[in-house]
């Protein structure tokens, strides 16, 4: 799923940050075609090293923080699921922000250039972060941290809340012949709900992290970026790349939840049965702790 994630995110980022005065792409499909034609299939996987490196650490942080927060809160309620997810989203930003900065810079590298003539500024994600640190220090490596926090904190909260509400209403007993479709639906819709709740912030975050590529800076702050973006493109700017993001969100999150649930049912059948019951207070907690929305 990381390969699908990265391939879609390349043209999502490019649609989000392209100039409205001289747009390179007319839409999602045209962007996809242009990348293939100009940069080959490998153009779709620029920046894959960054999420591959950070995913394990992010999952570990989300698992630990969300689980410990639920234990501290005691009662398993929808509100506590939201708070625990929000806490997990906040803490994992320490890794998520630099990881996405490297991913964005790598994905913007060589935009619109033929593969043969493309000049590589960064060799890989680690080289990208190292060069940014040399030029701008820690502040440069953490560019976009505030917008990442604004996106991830409520985004993870909505994600866990939506999954909790959907699984409670649908039920997911192991004996149910429709358990897998229900898990796929609940996971996919939770991912969509999470992205819809925070997508405008993601657009601003991408623009701030892509700002400065080529040595030219356009934005001095979050408010400056928001104001200039609205002035130039109107409120529609906050939907750039949304279709591609939602198309990615459903299958990725559906597969994540279904895989984790079935794995737990297989290795811990007794506990798994409890986790899939809708009524008890311990409902779904272990399953939710291991899933995260796509940079989540």
How much is the pLDDT for 216?
78
Mean pLDDT by 10 residues, the chain (296 residues): 50 66 64 62 54 69 84 91 94 91 80 55 84 91 94 94 89 81 92 94 92 81 94 90 86 79 67 42 41 38
CA distance 89 to 32: 30
Spatial separation of the C-alpha atoms in residues 53 and 194, rounded to whole Å: 23
Q: pTM for the full model?
A: 0.77
- Residue-level pLDDT at 241: 83
pLDDT score, position 148: 95
- The alpha carbons of the chain give a radius of gyration, in whole angstroms, of 20
Q: What is the DSSP string of 176-193?
A: -TTHHHHHHHHHHHHHHH
DSSP string, 259-287: HHHHHHHHH-HHHHHHHT-SSSTTTTHHH
pLDDT of residue 200: 94
Residue 193 pLDDT: 95
Contact between 14 and 62 (Cβ < 8 Å): no
**Can you read off the two tokens belonging to residue 60?**
């570990």
> For residue 221, what is the DSSP state?
S
Question: Residue 213's closest CA among 19, 49, 26, 30?
Answer: 19
Distance CA 50, CA 104 (A): 10
The DSSP output letter for 22 is S
User: What pLDDT, on a 0 to 100 scale, did the predictor assign at position 88?
Assistant: 93
pLDDT score recorded for residue 276: 47
């Amino acid at each position: 799923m990381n390969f699908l994630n990265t391939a879609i995110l390349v043209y999502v980022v490019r649609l989000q940050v392209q100039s409205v005065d001289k747009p390179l792409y007319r839409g999602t499909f045209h962007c996809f075609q242009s990348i293939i034609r100009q940069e080959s299939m490998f153009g779709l996987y620029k920046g894959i090293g960054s999420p591959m490196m950070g995913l394990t650490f992010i999952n570990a942080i989300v698992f630990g923080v969300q689980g410990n927060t639920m234990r501290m809160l005691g009662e398993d309620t929808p509100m506590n699921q939201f708070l625990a997810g929000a806490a997990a989203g906040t803490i994992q930003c320490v890794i998520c922000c630099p990881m996405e900065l490297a991913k964005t810079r790598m994905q913007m590298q060589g935009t619109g250039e033929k593969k043969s003539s493309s000049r590589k500024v960064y060799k890989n994600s680690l080289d990208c972060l190292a060069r940014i640190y040399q030029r701008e220090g820690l502040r440069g490596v953490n560019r976009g941290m505030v917008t990442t926090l604004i996106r991830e904190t409520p985004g993870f909260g909505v994600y866990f809340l939506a999954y909790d509400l959907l699984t409670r209403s649908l039920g997911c007993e192991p004996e149910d012949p429709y358990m897998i479709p229900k898990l796929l639906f609940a996971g996919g819709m939770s991912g969509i709900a999470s992205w819809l709740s925070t997508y405008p912030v993601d657009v601003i975050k991408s623009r701030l992290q892509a700002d400065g590529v080529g040595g030219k800076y356009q934005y001095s702050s979050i408010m400056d970026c928001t104001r200039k973006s609205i002035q130039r493109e109107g409120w529609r700017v906050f939907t750039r790349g949304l279709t591609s993001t939602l198309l990615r969100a459903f299958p990725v999150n559906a597969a994540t939840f279904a895989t984790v649930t079935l794995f737990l049912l297989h290795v811990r059948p007794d506990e798994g049965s409890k986790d899939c019951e809708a009524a008890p207070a311990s409902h779904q907690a272990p399953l939710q702790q291991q899933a995260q929305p796509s940079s989540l």
